[in-house]
């Protein structure tokens, strides 16, 4: 996704329009038509978005909530069953397995990704020849498609012919069946996510780094701060708003992870023989569109939202502490 | 003259102590950057290597490291694999992504203009509601009712089923609101009003020309996002009328071990994005960085 969202910014986004000294001045020819134009046209301009939202946003969300209280399957009528689905979900080991997988892959991918992106941005921020070349180079993964990434990496992680096992072989490691274990499949999927998004985050950090006043660093140098200390004590705290933004985006993206784990297992929803890398999004599709338990799938969908909410709030409160309290 | 130039040069030389400049890249930094570029490019290069080899060579150990001569043949094989409907998939993806992109840009510039530069009751509240919904992955959460809706409209398997839900893009409205605020001074809008221009005329003649760079960034991102969409087309489309992503997923499911075939399809699917990147790369980097600074 993209970058102009930032919680700090969001709060003060709707700045009151400037030039309010003109308020109340009627434009010439303020007949009925002109007044209609002033009063109604703004709503006309925003109406396409809100019409779309009503049909493809509000309706699906509300109806998902309603469906989640029903026993609703392919065969048979939908029947209101209250909280039954939710009760069933709480004791559903497959669901909790999917939650653990999703959160595990998310942590395994996001933390190294953002730290690497910070270091990479710091390196890109140095004076170096061929700046554009390096910036474009780190962004290249972004323009490949998710499916392409998943397909190529799945082949690279192949047990018998994959290049990664071949390279590990030089270090005396036996061929690993990456799909078979939780840790190895999570790691493989996390690298796919990281490969695609690290450069993108680095470019965003880089942009923010360039707005940090250089005299801060000069003053720190004079005081004898090492470059490493300057990085952690000046750069990182100054980047806090942007870091919050990237964490926010990674959380939503990471918790809805779908394409990579699906293609890691030939396009199936099961996430391996014992569901070792089945994510919540895959579980929704499996329940709703492979087993046609619509009501139950809707319940899982709402829990996914709750999961995202918890993730966003938790990460936000964690990241807010960066450089704070000093 | 000479003295001044000389003094200037001297001062510059002074301001840049060659060894201890903290902003100069050390050899270690350069090496790390080059290694990163290598990691970024390698999977793509590998894709081309396998796509240009025979099926048997694709599983050689040690792996082939240079491209072979079978690319043309493999492309022909991808096109000839009828059950994957690859050409249909490419065409569909082009139609879907461009339609969504054009519509999202139109919807977002209109709403962005209204939110940034027009005064109306409920403006803050409505804009706030858009920001809130940006946090909700609507197409994933509402996947069950959306599917029911398409079934009831008898739209499953059609392109409008993949296009319509993605016209809803709160991020686009937000981006264009920000961009319009920055690129179109209020005075300009008011001057146009005093001259008797209607709101639509101001949009067309004043706002649109000024926000063109913002539109370009939004267009590129929307196109990439939709070209990559996977979950929804997988559910609502049929295998005989796929998008390029679901077509490749089908290839990987049906021709599991034929990596030369799969990788050729994958390489072809990345091509449009790579072309966009090569042509607009500089603007993409610029747009991303500008957006980040505003944040």
**Of A188-192, B83-87, B274-278, B289-293, minimum mean pLDDT range:** B289-293
B21 touches chain A (CB under 8 A): yes
Mean pLDDT within B103-126: 94
pLDDT on residue B110: 95
What residue in B sits closest to A192 (Cα-Cα)?
B43
Contact call for residues B127 and A62 (beta carbons, < 8 A): no
Q: Which of B292, B293, B294 to probe the A interface (max A CBs under 10 A)? A: B292
Contact call for residues A242 and A204 (beta carbons, < 8 A): yes
The beta-carbon neighbor of B293 closest among A155, A208, A252 is A208
Q: At A282, is the pLDDT very low, low, confident or very high (cuts 50, 70, 90)? A: very high
Q: Which of B51, B63, B141 to probe the A interface (max A CBs under 10 A)? A: B141
Note whether B168 contacts A57, CB cutoff 8 Å.
yes
- Pick the closest to residue A256 from A305, A207, A195, A199 (CA basis): A305
The beta-carbon neighbor of B187 closest among A19, A152, A268 is A19
* CA terminus-to-terminus distance, chain B: 46
pLDDT of B7 > 70? The answer is no
Q: What is the pLDDT of residues B205-214, one digit of tens each?
A: 999 998 888 8
Note whether B144 contacts A301, CB cutoff 8 Å.
yes
Residue A135 with chain B: CB contacts under 8 Å:
285
Residue A196 with chain B: CB contacts under 8 Å:
none
What residue in A sits closest to B255 (Cα-Cα)?
A266
Beta partners for B95?
Answer: none
Q: What is the pLDDT of residues B220-232, one digit of tens each?
A: 888 988 998 999 9
CATH number of this structure's domain A92-145+184-319, picked from the four choices 1.10.3720.10, 2.40.30.10, 3.30.70.100, 1.10.4160.10: 1.10.3720.10
Residue A34 with chain B: CB contacts under 8 Å:
198
Q: At A128, is the pLDDT very low, low, confident or very high (cuts 50, 70, 90)? A: confident
Note whether B190 contacts A22, CB cutoff 8 Å.
yes
More confident residue, A106 or A242: A106
Note whether B142 contacts A207, CB cutoff 8 Å.
no
**Of A8-12, B61-65, B83-87, minimum mean pLDDT range:** A8-12
Mean pLDDT within A219-240: 87
**Of A203-217, B9-23, B193-207, minimum mean pLDDT range:** B9-23
**Of A8-12, A225-229, A250-254, minimum mean pLDDT range:** A8-12
pLDDT of B194 > 60? The answer is yes
pLDDT on residue B20: 55
User: How many domains does the structure of chain B reveal?
Assistant: 1
- Domain assignment present for residue B160? The answer is yes
**Furthest-apart CA pair in chain B: how many Å?**
84
CATH assignment at residue B134: 1.10.3720.10
Highest mean pLDDT, choosing among A184-198, A236-250, B245-259:
A184-198
**Of A14-28, B110-124, B165-179, B255-269, minimum mean pLDDT range:** A14-28
What residue in B sits closest to A220 (Cα-Cα)?
B22
Note whether A128 contacts B120, CB cutoff 8 Å.
no
Q: Confirm whether the ipTM is greater than 0.90.
A: no
pLDDT on residue B36: 92
Q: Which of B144, B146, B183, B239 to probe the A interface (max A CBs under 10 A)? A: B144
For all residues of chain A together, what is the average pLDDT? 84
Nearest-Cα distance to chain B for A122, in Å, is: 9
Note whether B235 contacts A289, CB cutoff 8 Å.
yes
Q: State which residues form the domain around B159.
A: 85-294
The beta-carbon neighbor of B61 closest among A161, A245, A284 is A161
The beta-carbon neighbor of A134 closest among B24, B33, B231 is B33
More confident residue, A209 or A324: A209
The full DSSP string for chain B is -HHHHHHHHHHHHHHS-TTT-TTBPPHHHHHHHHHHHHHHHHHHHHHHHHHTS-TTGGG-SSPP-S--S-HHHHHHHHHH-GGG-HHHHHHHHHHHHHHHHHHHHHHHHHHHHHHHH---TTHHHHHHHHHHHTTS-HHHHTHHHHHHHHHHTT-TTSHHHHHGGGG--HHHHHHHHHHHHHHS-HHHHHHHHHTT--HHHHIIIIIHHHTHHHHHHHHHHHHHHHHT--HHHHHHS-TTS--HHHHHHHHHHHSTT-HHHHHHHHHHHHHHHHHHHHHHHHHHHHHHHHHHHH-
Note whether B295 contacts A3, CB cutoff 8 Å.
yes
pLDDT on residue A266: 82
**Of A152-161, A181-190, B13-22, B231-240, minimum mean pLDDT range:** B13-22
Nearest-Cα distance to chain B for A15, in Å, is: 8
For all residues of chain B together, what is the average pLDDT? 84
pLDDT on residue A121: 92
Instruction: Please state the φ and ψ torsions of residue A161, each to the nearest 5 degrees.
Output: -115, 5
B133 touches chain A (CB under 8 A): yes
Note whether A144 contacts B273, CB cutoff 8 Å.
yes
Q: How many contacts (CB atoms, under 8 Å) link A and B?
A: 357
What residue in B sits closest to A288 (Cα-Cα)?
B144
SS3 assignment for B37-104 = HHHHHHHHHHHHHHHCCCCCHHHCCCCCCCCCCCHHHHHHHHHHCHHHCHHHHHHHHHHHHHHHHHHH
B146 touches chain A (CB under 8 A): yes
pLDDT of B295 > 50? The answer is no
Mean pLDDT within A53-74: 88
The beta-carbon neighbor of B266 closest among A152, A203, A221 is A152
pLDDT of B275 > 80? The answer is yes
Token pair 């020819």 in the structure block, residue: A29
Q: Kindly state the tokens that stand for A209.
A: 């780094």
Mean pLDDT within B95-111: 95
Mean pLDDT within A31-35: 82
Note whether A2 contacts B61, CB cutoff 8 Å.
no
Residue B194 with chain A: CB contacts under 8 Å:
27-28
Q: Which of residues 73-102 of B touch A (CB under 8 A)?
A: none
- Domain assignment present for residue B8? The answer is no
Residue B173 with chain A: CB contacts under 8 Å:
49
Q: How many alpha carbons lie under 13 Å from residue A246 in its C-beta half-sphere? A: 27
Nearest-Cα distance to chain B for A126, in Å, is: 5
Cβ density class A138-165: b for 16+ within 10 Å, e for less: bbbbbbbbbbbbbbbbbbbbbeebbbbb
pLDDT on residue A324: 52
């Amino acid at each position: 996704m993209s970058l102009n969202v930032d919680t700090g910014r969001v709060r003060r986004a709707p700045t009151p329009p400037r030039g309010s000294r003109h308020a109340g001045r009627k434009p010439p020819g303020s007949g009925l038509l002109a007044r209609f134009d002033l009063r109604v046209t703004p709503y006309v301009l925003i109406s396409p978005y809100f019409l779309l939202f009503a049909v493809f946003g509000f309706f699906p969300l509300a109806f998902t909530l309603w469906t989640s209280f029903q026993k609703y399957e392919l065969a048979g009528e939908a029947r209101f069953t209250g909280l039954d689905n939710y009760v069933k979900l709480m004791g559903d080991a497959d669901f909790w397995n999917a939650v653990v997988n999703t959160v595990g892959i998310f942590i395994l991918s996001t933390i190294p990704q953002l730290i690497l992106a910070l270091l990479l941005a710091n390196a890109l921020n140095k004076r170096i020849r061929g700046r554009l070349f390096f910036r474009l180079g780190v962004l290249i993964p972004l323009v490949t498609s998710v499916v392409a990434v998943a397909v190529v990496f799945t082949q690279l992680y192949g047990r018998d012919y994959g290049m990664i096992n071949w390279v590990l072989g030089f270090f005396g490691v036996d061929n690993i069946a990456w799909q078979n274990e939780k840790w190895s499949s999570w790691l493989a999927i996390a690298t796919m996510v990281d490969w695609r998004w690290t450069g993108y985050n680095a470019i965003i950090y880089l942009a923010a780094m360039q707005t940090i006043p250089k005299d801060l660093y000069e003053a720190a140098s004079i005081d004898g701060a090492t470059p490493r200390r300057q990085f952690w004590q000046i750069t990182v705290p100054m980047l806090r708003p942007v870091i919050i933004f990237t964490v926010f985006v990674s959380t939503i993206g990471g918790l809805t992870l779908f394409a990579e784990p699906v293609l890691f297992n030939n396009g199936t929803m099961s996430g391996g023989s014992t569901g070792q890398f089945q994510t919540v999004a895959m579980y929704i599709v499996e329940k709703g569109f492979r087993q046609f338990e619509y009501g139950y799938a809707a319940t899982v969908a709402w829990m996914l939202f709750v999961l995202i909410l918890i993730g966003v709030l938790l990460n936000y409160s964690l990241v807010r502490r960066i450089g704070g309290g000093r | 003259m000479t003295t001044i130039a000389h003094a200037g040069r001297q001062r510059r030389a002074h301001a840049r102590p060659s060894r201890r400049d903290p902003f100069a890249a050390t050899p270690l930094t350069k090496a790390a950057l080059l290694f990163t570029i290598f990691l970024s490019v390698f999977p793509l290069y590998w894709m081309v290597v396998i796509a240009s080899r025979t099926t048997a060579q694709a599983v050689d150990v040690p792996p082939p490291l240079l491209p072979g001569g079978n690319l043309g043949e493999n492309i022909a094989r991808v096109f000839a694999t009828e059950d994957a409907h690859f050409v249909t998939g490419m065409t569909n993806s082009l139609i879907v992504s461009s339609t969504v992109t054009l519509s999202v840009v139109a919807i977002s510039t209109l709403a962005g203009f209204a939110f940034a530069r027009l005064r109306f009751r409920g403006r803050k509240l409505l804009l706030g509601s858009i920001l809130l919904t940006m946090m909700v992955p609507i197409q994933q959460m509402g996947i069950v009712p959306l599917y029911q809706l398409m079934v009831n409209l008898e739209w499953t398997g059609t392109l409008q089923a993949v296009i319509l839900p993605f016209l809803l893009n709160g991020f686009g409205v937000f981006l264009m609101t920000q961009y319009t605020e920055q690129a179109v001074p209020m005075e300009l809008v008011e001057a146009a009003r005093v001259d008797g221009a209607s709101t639509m005329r101001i949009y067309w003649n004043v706002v649109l020309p000024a926000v063109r760079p913002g539109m370009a960034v939004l267009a590129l991102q929307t196109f990439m996002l939709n070209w990559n969409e996977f979950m929804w087309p997988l559910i609502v489309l049929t295998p005989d009328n796929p998008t390029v992503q679901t077509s490749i997923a089908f290839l990987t499911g049906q021709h599991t071990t034929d990596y030369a075939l799969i990788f050729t399809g994958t390489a072809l699917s990345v091509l449009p994005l790579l072309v966009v990147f090569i042509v607009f790369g500089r603007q993409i980097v610029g747009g991303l960085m500008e957006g980040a600074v505003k944040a």
